[in-house]
Amino acid sequence: MTNPRIETAAEHSADVLHRVGSVVIGKSESLRLVLAGILAGGHVLLQDLPGLGKTLAARSMAQALGIEFTRAQFTPDLLPADLTGSFIYNQRIGDFEFREGPLFTGLLLADEINRTPPKTQAALLEAMQERQVTVEGRTFELPPPFHVLATANPVEYEGTYPLPEAQLDRFLLCVGFGYPTAEEEYDVLHSRIARRQELVVLDPVTDAAGLLEMQAAVEEVEVDRSVSEYCIALVTATRTHRDVLIGASPRGSLALMLCARALALISGRDFVLPEDVKTVAPAALAHRVTVKPELWMTDVSGASVVAGLLETVPTPAAQERAGRWTPP
């Protein structure tokens, strides 16, 4: 490691993952992906069954990063103004003033995002893409850093509103946690007994300014042309796959590259390996792939399509910068 900026960011990343991993037990790989999504400047969808630590992970990540945390419980009666804020008449000054909503934060937990109607879901689109909200014709900037961690239950359909493709595409990554092993579940129980309370409070590793510095360090991670072409080849293959109705857009290629750079930084490197791309590919591409309707009742899914492409799309043989890494 020769870049002190990347070295410092890698050390902070390791500390953040260690602290969050002490309460969200057995999810180290998923937490690495979540942190990579944040360092890449994006938003992350946590899609898994209830009770697997999604909300705890979001709250703990915000605490460890030292940024403001806000939780919005998405319900069928939630209105766009409940997220963006609204103009309220102030009798003291005799005029309307803007009261900020929960979107004005460092990290927003959009809990059960698929339980609110599309009109309210759409209120997030401008905020997630342009980092601003428009209320009654006036635009308000969201101060950086701003990130959304949303949770969704993938198997419950009653009373839910599926996220449209345009909104799914706004999420840089879609991450699942999965069930813990028996040993990990024992550690969860033992950890709860040891701390003698339900509430978990983590000391911050950095703060908002420090997070922005870490994100700036990601921009110094180098990407070889062969790795960029590998990202494009994977995304292009999703568009021509026989089981796919709609493949990933160029935003999928960007997601692969950005998250692979962030993952390289977390690993303490200033350059990207093809293995970084392979690691983030399922989380970056699966939710951007729509399989053909006739296959909805089969085992074919976006995840299975991406897994197959990782086996068939050729991996770059080597970087031009000899000595940085050995060919797979």
Question: How far are the Cα atoms of 28, 79, 105, 280 from residue 36, in angstroms, in the given order?
Answer: 12, 31, 19, 9
Domains of the chain, earliest start first: 1-218 (3.40.50.300), 221-328 (1.10.8.80)
Q: Which residue has the higher pLDDT, 324 or 212?
A: 212
Average pLDDT over residues 4-24: 95
Question: Which residue, 277, 276, 273, is CA-closest to 237?
Answer: 277
pTM of the model: 0.90
For residue 86, list its beta bridge partners.
99
pLDDT at residue 159, rounded to an integer? 64
For residue 174, list its beta bridge partners.
45
Confidence of residue 158 (pLDDT cuts 50, 70, 90): low
Confidence of residue 322 (pLDDT cuts 50, 70, 90): very low
Average pLDDT over residues 126-137: 89
Answer yes or no: is pLDDT of 305 > 50: yes
pLDDT at residue 225, rounded to an integer? 93
| Spatial distance between the Cα atoms of 4 and 38, rounded to a whole number of angstroms | 21
Average pLDDT over the chain, rounded to an integer: 89
Count of residues in the chain: 328
| Spatial distance between the Cα atoms of 104 and 133, rounded to a whole number of angstroms | 9
